[in-house]
Amino acid sequence: MVNDKLLHPESIAVIGASNNTMKPGGKLVKNLVDHPFRGKLYVVNPKSKEIQGIPAFSTVEDLPSVDLAILAIPAPFCLHAVEVLVAQKNTKAVIIISAGFGETSEEGKKLEQQIAQVANRFGACLIGPNCIGVMTPHHASVFTTPIPPLVPGGCDFISGSGATAVFIMESGIPKGIRFANVFSVGNSAQTGVEDVLAYLDETYKPGVSSRVKLLYIENIDNPDKLLFHASSLVRKGCKIAAIKAGSSSAGSRAASSHTGALTSSDAAVEALFRKAGIVRCYGREELTTVAGVFMCKELKGKNLAIITHAGGPGVMLTDALEDGGLHIPQIPDSPAKQSLKEKLFEGSSVENPIDFLATGTAEQLGDIVDACENDFDVDGMAVIFGSPGLFPIRDVYELLNEKMKSCRKPVYPILPSIINVKEDVSYFLSHGNVNFPDEVLLGRALTKVIHTPAPATSGSFMEGIDLKAIRAIIEQAKEGYQPPGIIHQLFDAAGIPRVKEIVVTSETEAVLSSLNIGFPVVMKVVGPVHKTDVGGVILNIRNVAQVRKEFHHLKEIKGAEGVMVAQMASGTELFLGAKYEQDFGHVVLCGLGGIYVEVLKDVASGLAPLSLEEAGSMLRQLKSYKILKGYRKQEGVNIPQFAEIIVRLSNLLRHATEIKEIDINPLLGNETEILAVDARVRVGKSSNEYS
């Protein structure tokens, strides 16, 4: 639980403060002093009267009342200190930076749990242990550097790893990324990444709180909480980018060996992020580049102007953006274009990229930006301006700084000359701007942002789903793979259309069933396992005479217990399945069946429950979507019905979490209807059922 005392304390005490700034307890005090905290700062050290010029208390007991305490003392002493603080000093927020807890041993794990219990009992927030601390615009309570610029409009950043948080800031600072609140949650004894995000959501004030949230996550403990608050923040207008490390199986092993945490399946993470509207990143450079995009004004369309004084980077950026589905539209002829052209040097190009040559001036850049802002049909601009090192280009960056502020459209600055005009770039960043030193990395980040869907809307409810029946079937179902009868009942209760199948034992029943189902039908022997091997499947039966004949034929097969008469379905083979992931719930996968799933791995995933909109978006994501729609002479499938079946399945699963795996394979579909032909359903009821 995060609270306001953590973010806006009026007093801070550092327990284990030191004069040695090469030690965490020393560096922490130095950071608090160097990045002034305006409240009262207390320090506790049993041996020194004074720490870095601040009079020291000998023990925690000696302290006056204090809002926030930061512990940099050995693990075994922490429990007592926290007890004293929360019980006697009215301390409502505690950060434990000390290591030696759950990350090293079982006893350490127990110790941190005890501390969390104490904090919980007194309604105090506990951050850590084993973390680098917390930074806000009010206080820099971390033992590490660098301390980035801390301003209310910067990024909120929550990290599951302290060292990685440092490295991410090292990557962001040179790009001008500024921060608001930085949380390193360490072992998350009480407060995890999701909890901090929940607090940021619950206390979100439009126009006051930071619009940008960055997350580094090694393990998602509470996917529902993350989904709920991330979606809520994005709906409020926030932008969220996150790294979830451990996407490969070897990466998961690495994450596990490091944090001792179980790592969640990557498909579930992928589905969760899409559903929440989180931009998924895979590295630090990518995360801080996306953060830079977020710090700029919002891009509200896909058309960009590229303004450059050098050809090469303009071409490479064009390639990256077009490759990612954005457009660099040619600027059509107009008086505005003509008038701009006249303001530029001969040889300049007012196509797109707009190239105003190596000799281009600040004034010309201003004219171009104004034309893009007011006259040209583009949604944003990327401005590339470096220097061969002959002279300073301060005037250009002054102009660009002004335009960054005054334009309604986003302007993405690409200032590649981080050596030649280092000072000019620093000047530009010091005015609160970001820089993208590499245009292609910017292009890929922009692409990633533009392709992240909005958070899913709710509304997965669908008529004709009999929840009571579903629960009754599931409660009576045995563990393991389910027989066809149970599967039929489940599908019927959820309104999932399936081929009609009737098991019969007499010739008359067979004939009546076939008439009921309608020709052509399939007849199968019931009893033998490998039906086709014993000639027990007869396709395409077209009349009553054939039914009579085949009934007798099938009944004579060894082990025959009966005969099944089934509807003969045909059409394109589809795939729909789901897997229950511990904590995440059901990850639903869909696609075209056969080789599309098995060889080409062309599958879309979503996290149940799914809305019709989400199901539609999953289908559109498929590479084979064109085939679903009907390609050339090949008939397509009823896509709205496929989406509806996906939603129905996700409704069924939502109320039957005992279903651990389900494969509907195949569904057969054509333009009029889609029918489930065969399915495998595994039910697991024990609590230690593997997921």
Cα–Cα distance for residue pair 400/539, rounded to 1 Å: 73
| Residue 371 φ/ψ region, left for φ over 0, alpha for ψ in the -120 to 50 degree band, beta for the rest | alpha
Which is nearer to its own copies, 513 or 572 (by Cβ)?
A: 572
Cis amide leading into 392 (omega within 30): no
Selected from 623, 654, 682, 685, the binder of its own copies by CB under 8 A is 623
Phi, psi of 300 (to 5 degrees): -105, 10
Selected from 33, 54, 84, 173, the binder of its own copies by CB under 8 A is 173
Q: Give Cα separations from 464 to 458, 588, 639 (angstroms).
A: 18, 20, 19
Residues 536-595 that bind its own copies (CB under 8 A): 595
Contacts 24+ apart (CB under 8 A), 99-108: 99/75, 99/129, 99/130, 100/74, 100/75, 100/129, 100/130, 101/75, 101/129, 101/130, 101/187, 101/189, 102/129, 102/130, 102/187, 102/189, 102/260, 103/130, 103/187, 103/259, 103/260, 108/75
Selected from 39, 311, 520, 636, the binder of its own copies by CB under 8 A is 311
Selected from 64, 123, 152, 389, the binder of its own copies by CB under 8 A is 389
Residues 634-663 that bind its own copies (CB under 8 A): 634
> Rule CB under 8 A: is residue 35 a binding residue for its own copies?
no
The DSSP secondary structure of 312-334, one letter per residue, reads: HHHHHHHHHHHHTT-B-PPPPP-
Task: Please report, for the chain, how many H helices and E strands are present, in that order.
Answer: 24, 29
Question: Minimum Å distance from CB 122 to its own copies?
Answer: 31
Question: Minimum Å distance from CB 131 to its own copies?
Answer: 11
Question: Minimum Å distance from CB 104 to its own copies?
Answer: 5
Selected from 358, 472, 515, 539, the binder of its own copies by CB under 8 A is 358
Question: Minimum Å distance from CB 346 to its own copies?
Answer: 7
> Rule CB under 8 A: is residue 612 a binding residue for its own copies?
no
Which is nearer to its own copies, 66 or 384 (by Cβ)?
A: 384
- Identity of the residue numbered 430: S
Question: Which range of residues in 9-17, 75-83, 277-285, 676-684 is near its own copies by CB under 8 A?
Answer: 277-285
DSSP single-letter state for residue 145: S
> Rule CB under 8 A: is residue 522 a binding residue for its own copies?
no
> Rule CB under 8 A: is residue 162 a binding residue for its own copies?
yes
Helix (H) or strand (E) holding 380: strand 380-384
Residues 179-238 that bind its own copies (CB under 8 A): 216, 218
> Rule CB under 8 A: is residue 440 a binding residue for its own copies?
yes
Count residues near its own copies (CB under 8 A): 98
| Residue 53 φ/ψ region, left for φ over 0, alpha for ψ in the -120 to 50 degree band, beta for the rest | left
Specify burial of residue 224 (Cβ count, 10 A radius: 0-12, 13-18, 19+).
Answer: middle
Angle at 546 between CA 541 and CA 548, to 5 degrees: 125
Q: How far is CA 22 from the centre of its chain?
A: 37
Residues 312-351 that bind its own copies (CB under 8 A): 312-316, 318-320, 322-323, 327-328, 330, 346-347, 349, 351
Question: Tokens standing for 320?
Answer: 């990256």
Within 8 A by CB and 6+ apart from 244, the residues are 217, 218, 220, 264, 266, 269, 273, 280
Question: Minimum Å distance from CB 39 to its own copies?
Answer: 24
3-state secondary structure (DSSP) of residue 127? strand
Selected from 16, 176, 380, 386, the binder of its own copies by CB under 8 A is 386
Q: Looking at the DSSP assignment, which residues form a beta bridge with residue 213?
A: 156, 240
Question: Which range of residues in 1-9, 311-319, 604-612, 683-691 is near its own copies by CB under 8 A?
Answer: 311-319
Interface mask (CB under 8 A) for its own copies, residues 239-258, using x and -?
A: ----x-xxxxxxx-xxx-xx
Selected from 353, 360, 495, 536, the binder of its own copies by CB under 8 A is 353
Question: Which range of residues in 55-63, 150-158, 267-275, 280-288 is near its own copies by CB under 8 A?
Answer: 280-288
Question: Minimum Å distance from CB 199 to its own copies?
Answer: 23
Asked if 127 and 93 touch (Cβ cutoff 8 Å), the reply is yes
Question: Minimum Å distance from CB 500 to its own copies?
Answer: 27
Asked if 647 and 576 touch (Cβ cutoff 8 Å), the reply is no
Question: Which range of residues in 381-389, 574-582, 642-650, 651-659 is near its own copies by CB under 8 A?
Answer: 381-389
Question: Which range of residues in 69-77, 197-205, 620-628, 667-675 is near its own copies by CB under 8 A?
Answer: 620-628
> Rule CB under 8 A: is residue 417 a binding residue for its own copies?
yes
Which is nearer to its own copies, 320 or 674 (by Cβ)?
A: 320
Question: Minimum Å distance from CB 310 to its own copies?
Answer: 4
> Rule CB under 8 A: is residue 292 a binding residue for its own copies?
no
> Rule CB under 8 A: is residue 171 a binding residue for its own copies?
yes
Which is nearer to its own copies, 425 or 656 (by Cβ)?
A: 425
Within 8 A by CB and 6+ apart from 28, the residues are 14, 17, 70, 72, 97, 133, 141, 142, 143
Residues 56-115 that bind its own copies (CB under 8 A): 99, 103-104
Beta pairing, strands 68-71 & 11-15: parallel
Which is nearer to its own copies, 285 or 507 (by Cβ)?
A: 285
Cα–Cα distance for residue pair 315/390, rounded to 1 Å: 24
> Rule CB under 8 A: is residue 144 a binding residue for its own copies?
yes
Tallying the residues shown for the chain, one arrives at 691
Which is nearer to its own copies, 258 or 297 (by Cβ)?
A: 258
Question: Minimum Å distance from CB 294 to its own copies?
Answer: 19
Question: Minimum Å distance from CB 444 to its own copies?
Answer: 8
Selected from 65, 235, 282, 543, the binder of its own copies by CB under 8 A is 282
Helix (H) or strand (E) holding 240: strand 239-244
Q: Looking at the DSSP assignment, which residues form a beta bridge with residue 281?
A: 243
Residues 446-475 that bind its own copies (CB under 8 A): none
Question: Minimum Å distance from CB 304 to its own copies?
Answer: 10
